[in-house]
């Protein structure tokens, strides 16, 4: 159930953020600066990447040491924007099939 709620909230957040990314550049900065900051402050490294709507790159950065995670959206013009961030990151086995509640 927690996975479903997380997926739904993440999907909703992406939709809201994508509509605001062009009108609210406050959460956006040069990509190299954003990546460096995540590594230096939180020990986060890239864990996954995908191509979103309108050639926008979506990335998950996380640290198993600090437990922090950040989702970034890089726009075609090169700006990288913060979509979401949080705590309690847990890596999962991508080949394992969900069987119910997380352990």
Q: Give the helix/strand (H/E) hosting 73.
A: strand 69-74
Let me know if residue 28 belongs to a domain: yes
Is residue 24 over pLDDT 70?
A: no
Least confident of 17-26, 30-39, 87-96: 17-26
Q: What domain count does the chain have? A: 1
Stated as kind and residue range, the H or E segment containing 12 is helix 2-20
pLDDT of residue 47: 96
pLDDT averaged over every residue in the chain: 80
Is 40 inside any structural domain? yes
Domain with 13 in it: 2-86
69: tokens are 């995670």
Contact 98, 3 (CB under 8 A): yes
Confirm whether 103 is domain-assigned.
no
Rounded CA separation 92/90 (Å): 6
């Amino acid at each position: 159930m927690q996975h479903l709620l997380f997926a739904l909230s993440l999907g909703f957040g992406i939709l809201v953020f994508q509509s605001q990314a062009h009108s609210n550049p406050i959460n956006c900065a040069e990509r190299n600066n954003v990546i460096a900051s995540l590594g230096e402050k939180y020990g986060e490294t890239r864990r996954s990447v995908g191509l979103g709507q309108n050639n926008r790159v979506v990335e998950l950065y996380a640290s198993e040491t600090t437990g922090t995670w950040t989702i970034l959206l890089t726009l075609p013009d090169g700006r990288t924007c913060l979509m979401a961030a949080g705590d309690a990151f847990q890596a999962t086995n991508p080949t394992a099939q969900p069987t119910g509640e997380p352990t």
